[in-house]
Structure 1
Amino acid sequence: MRNITAYTANLKEMKWNDFNFDPITIDTLAKLETPEHYKNSFAFRDALLKAVQKFSNQEVYKLLVITPDNISTSNFYGIAFLEGKNILTLQIENTPIFKEWFDDIDLDEDDADKITPKIYSFAENLYSSQSTSNLTEGLIYNDTGAFITQFIPNQFIAEKLAKEKVDFLEPFIQLNAYNNFEELSQNFKKLIDSKQLNVCPPKNNEAIYNQFEKEANFPFPSLIKDYLSLHNGIENFPIMSAEKIVKEWKSWKNVYNNWTQDELLDTYSTNKGKTLQMYTTPYWIPFFDLENGNFLALDFAPNTLGTSGQVIRFGADQDIGYIEADSLNTFIKSLLGEQVEMEDENDLVTTNRS
């Protein structure tokens, strides 16, 4: 297709006339049954993504729709970011059904008669719009390549984004956590006996560890291996089995993989400098299920004031990780109901978990 441009370093220098905008008819829009329904916006988005995918026969990572201002242009334009780091440029035909749908989703509540040229950004999990006035004047129709580079999807720069995350974490990684296994074993046995818990007996987890190491690209920490030599989970108790540990770790690893470093890092929250100000990292290995998507994890990439193998709290309801205990042994003691020094995100506290 002559209207496909490869994503290269030269893209930023390209002008409007360097691109070919071939016409596309959006034939994936159904009859508009319920005008002004909130779901219409998403139906419109999905129809356009489907039409562009059918037109290009390639996966569409992201689609920009530029609406007319009736001064520079009266046309609708589409810029699609495709698999293979290709960019497809289109002129969207303003057919009666397209106009009906667009007028429905583009209603300006303040002034229905006012034309506000916008840029819509569509993707599988993205629906947003902004006024073209937010951009430098003339950027779209003059310095078009520079305009497009502002909307490059993460898939186009995946290697760069992955390197940013690796470079950030590397100075903090400490896989060899200190562990007094004899004391840990004694306290774990006390916990089982005092609370009359039913322990799932330990088993050979080498296949699970190998699976973890293949996906993680680092060894399964010996601290957790030692810990799992005592059990393989506990019935009706939050302590997790080897299988569940790796399953939940993989789920959070997917979150980490899909987010950028900027999205993962939270510089507004504070946690006393013992854990990284991150939403998640692959070096937080969940072992205790707090339910509702929240976990306690063993931290093998502590912040400068932290200790490898410390217990942290993270999950769906946490913006960043927070220190819970300075070690696994300290945490197990807390479950016994003994008074031990524990920490929260605000102060050092003494707790009794009887």
Structure 2
Amino acid sequence: MSSFNALEEWLAINLPEVLSDLNPGATEDELRTFAAALNVTLPAGFLELYRWHNGQKMKIHTGPWYGLIFMPLSRVLSEWLSWEDVIRQSSPESLASLNNSSTSVPLGFVRCLYANNRWIPFAHDGAGNHIGLDLDPDEKGTFGQVINFGRDEERKIAIAPSVGAFVDWMVEELRAGNFNIKTESDGGRSFNTLRPEKYHFLDSLAVMFRDY
């Protein structure tokens, strides 16, 4: 069984509302149009991810990536264009200052930049932070590696060498019982790691990769 199917089965049992919120898979035309709009070659793992489901309808406030929302291609493009605007409109001095505050984990895997138009988000937290694809890795990194980036993410982490490896890793964590589902005051349910016990997945990642 593929990890995508395993994740879907886990969601059906544990978070059926997230499974119900997932869109059908993207068509080949939608994938070609998206790649052309970004002028990139998309790795096979990203294409497989969006053939599986074209993100969420976003009618609920949690998603399959430890609570982060799985964005449809239309929203990915919108977020990517917003980051392009940040890069284009920032002065060289301000962008250099932002870049200098960034670090790579492990060292040499992710370029120490605040923003890069070859970082393609596929998940977001609603506050300008993402999990996404890195199509411009540093010298030790891998084309198509999965990283964190965004407004608050100075410490860029190479989470997995590919989308497929990221999903494999997450399914292994879930099978090991590393999940925490809570009912919030609004009646919705949040979803994050149990080890470490944090409210936000990106905070969990910072702890899980702190020794690199």
- TM-score normalised by L of structure 1: 0.41
Structure 1 stretches of 5 or more lacking a match? 1-182, 349-354
How far has the Cα of 1:307 moved from its partner?
0.9
Residue number among 103, 106, 117 corresponding to 1:270 in the alignment: 103
Matched, 1:255 2:86: yes
Find the partner of 2:132 among 288, 297, 307: 297
Post-superposition offset of 1:211: 5.7
Distance 2:155 2:24 in 1: 34
Q: 1:6-21 to 2 correspondence within 5 Å?
A: none
Q: Is the Cα contact below 8 Å between 1:273 and 1:303 reproduced in 2?
A: yes
Structure with larger RCO (C-alpha < 8 A, sep 6+): 2
Corresponding residue for 2:169? 334
Residue in 2 that maps onto 1:228: 50
Report the number of matched residues: 161
CA contact (8 A) 2:102 2:114 kept: no
Q: TM-score, normalised by structure 2?
A: 0.65
Partner of 1:325: 160
Secondary structure at the residue paired with 2:113?
coil
1:152-211 Cα shifts (integer Å, max 9, x gaps):
xxxxxxxxxxxxxxxxxxxxxxxxxxxxxxx8xx10111011111233111326356436
Is the CA contact 1:201–1:230 (under 8 Å) kept in the aligned structure 2? yes
**Max Rg structure:** 1
Q: Paired residue for 1:168?
A: none
Q: Are the structure 2 counterparts of residues 335 and 233 from structure 1 closer, same or farther at C-alpha, using a change threshold of 3 Å?
A: same
Distance change >3 Å, CA 220–CA 262, structure 1 → 2: farther
Matches within 5 A, 1:209-224: 209-210=32-33, 213-214=36-37, 216=38, 218-223=39-44, 224=46
Q: Identify unmatched segments of 5+ residues in structure 2.
A: 13-18, 64-68, 179-203
The alpha-carbon distance between structure 1 residues 205 and 320, as it changes in their structure 2 partners (threshold 3 A), is: farther
Deviation at 1:304, TM superposition (A): 1.0
Work out the CA distance in 2 between the residues paired with 1:291 and 1:346.
24
Give the superposed CA RMSD.
2.8
SS of the residue 1:321 aligns to: strand
d(CA) in 1 for partners of 2:92 and 2:51? 35
Deviation by residue 1:285-310 (Cα, 9 ceiling, x = unmatched): 00011231111010000011111111
Q: Is the 8 A contact 1:276 1:320 kept in 2?
A: no
**Pairing of 1:150-299 with structure 2 (within 5 A):** 186-196=2-12, 197-198=19-20, 199-204=22-27, 206=29, 209-210=32-33, 213-214=36-37, 216=38, 218-223=39-44, 224-235=46-57, 236=60, 237=63, 238-265=69-96, 266-271=99-104, 272-299=107-134
Name the amino acid aligned to 1:201: P
Which residue identity is paired with 1:193? Answer: E
Deviation sequence 1:218-275 (CA, Å, 0-9, x none): 2341432232111111354212211111111111111122124553342344222211
Query: Residues 259 and 305 of structure 1: is their aligned pair in 2 closer, same or farther, counting only changes over 3 Å?
Result: same
The amino acid that maps onto 2:148 is: R
- How far apart are the structure 2 equivalents of 1:245 and 1:205? 16
Percent identity over the alignment? 25
